[in-house]
Structure 1
Amino acid sequence: MSNLALVTGATSGIGKAFAERLASDGYDLVIVGRRRERLDAFVAAHAEVKVRAVAADLSTDEGIDAVAEICATEPLTLLVNNAGVAHYMPLAELSAGQARELVNVKVLAPTMLSRAAVSGMQERGRGAIVNVAGMIAFSGPAPQSQMPRRAVYAGTLAHLVAMSQTLSAELEGTGVRVQVVCPGVVATEFHKRQGIDLSAVPRMSAEDLVAAALRGLELGEVVCAPGVEDAGVLDAVFQADLTAFAAQTPALATRYH
């Protein structure tokens, strides 16, 4: 049985690394991106597998709907929700258009594409959804002195973590797996397009990140943090989440009296 993967944001960085690795593993591909010339170049360089190029802008309803239709009708083995935009700035400095673009690409698109793909995967009893987030999802408690604020960006990544964990639980026993990948700083064009120079900062390669994500799927990890050596750190975070969730009662806490 052939494997078919759809990768968004496939024209550069992490998405291109996913597409390259999956092609080398023998997957047929649907690659999605905004830049037609880069999509066409990838197709021309990978004659050994079937590659369908789809030029779509996932910040628009039209782009999301077009790709969701493919997710709903093609027998996907793997969906990689990778597309992103690097709007790193405080909320007060974020334009309305930038805020809408960020939420559409990192929240609405993964939601609608996953929703479109998951029914077919369940019917076939196999498949995986990989959402690309980042360790910034865990940075919410950091003080201003520690990290420049990027409230909407951090919030979209935290959404992907919570959605992936919950969806994984929903799909338990169906043969469909869900993973959210949380890299730190990765060596791609992503920050450069925002005008941020990270050349002096140690960075993980996109290829290593992809290797970790695919190995993490094999290991059954729902949250894959490629740069975190001690996985127990993540377990402690999630156990604390559940402790807080279970600690609630209908009574008003005494500190509010």
Structure 2
Amino acid sequence: MSNSLALVTGATSGIGLAFAERLAADGHDLIVVGRAEERLDAFAAAHPDVAVRVLAADLSTPAGIDAVADAIADAPLDLLVNNAGVAHYMPLAELPAAKAREVVNVKVLAPTLLTRAALGGMLRRGRGTVVTIAGMLAFSGPAGPEVMPRRAVYAGSLAHLVTMTQALAAELAGTGVTAHVVCPGVVATNFHAVQGMDLGAVPRMSAEDLVTGALAGIALGETVIAPGVEERRLLDEVFAAELAAFAGQRPALAARYRA
């Protein structure tokens, strides 16, 4: 994939920076997206062996999303990494409307519209890869009230990314374009620190290992990539159960709902 062009959102720190570093080392030209332009400029200056375009944009805003989507539409993009994130962990009733909007914009609207913008060119060229970073919290919906902190909107946004990517992968079958979603557990970045959460004593995967796992999962052809899950069958059983429930629906009212 050397000499190809990749775009990474949230590229100023954590997982996004680790992706950008790995892709630059592998010879990709890059478009790096983030809010902090000075950090993006520093990354570009540190990687003179590849072409790096800096795009400062706030993906929590419609204007920021549109700016990046326009850049994608005009670029011969081979790889899109939807990584930008925001950490607002709190129960829905306590979540300010502005923060709820920010989560949905960054983790639902931005990946949806940026992927849409990338697909046109990828499909015309018959090649391309879309990678979206979600998280294992996507599978945490059935957890009881003993599991804290509560984060309905955040967990729901990650579940959206998993289902959207699975459905998109089916839409893209046979086109040469692939879609993948990466579901890490707790990663050693500053993501939780901004929420005032000290996870220093919690075992965490490094961002670099996460990127290694993501790239390996793409090579293996996995649509849902869970770098920290040793037994792949656990995920396969979840997806099989979902399809069984989907196929088990009938037009008649189920017996348990009949008075």
What residue in structure 2 maps to residue 50 of structure 1? 51
Distance 1:112 1:220 in 2: 24
TM-score w.r.t. structure 2 length? Answer: 0.98
What residue in structure 2 maps to residue 28 of structure 1? 29
How far 1:104 sits from its partner (Å)? 0.2
What residue in structure 1 maps to residue 91 of structure 2? 90
How far 1:2 sits from its partner (Å)? 2.7
Distance 1:141 1:24 in 2: 40
Q: SS at 1:145's partner residue?
A: coil
Distance 1:148 1:248 in 2: 34
Gaps of 5+ in 1: none
Deviations along 1:44-94, one digit per CA (max 9) or x if unpaired, are: 100010000100000111000000011111011100000000001100111
Distance 2:30 2:150 in 1: 37
Distance 2:211 2:143 in 1: 27
Distance 2:54 2:198 in 1: 31
Q: What amino acid maps onto 1:143 in structure 2?
A: G
Provide the aligned length of Structure 1 versus Structure 2: 257
Q: How does 1:105-120 map to 2 (within 5 A)?
A: 105-120=106-121
What residue in structure 2 maps to residue 241 of structure 1? 242
- Is 1:72 aligned to 2:73, yes or no? yes
How far 1:106 sits from its partner (Å)? 0.2
- Percent identity at matched positions? 70
Distance 1:59 1:182 in 2: 21
How far 1:129 sits from its partner (Å)? 0.3
How far 1:230 sits from its partner (Å)? 0.5
Distance 1:214 1:69 in 2: 26
Q: How does 1:64-213 map to 2 (within 5 A)?
A: 64-213=65-214
Q: SS at 1:186's partner residue?
A: coil
Distance 1:230 1:128 in 2: 25
TM-score w.r.t. structure 1 length? Answer: 0.99
Q: SS at 1:179's partner residue?
A: strand
Distance 1:60 1:145 in 2: 34
What residue in structure 1 maps to residue 221 of structure 2? 220
Gaps of 5+ in 2: none
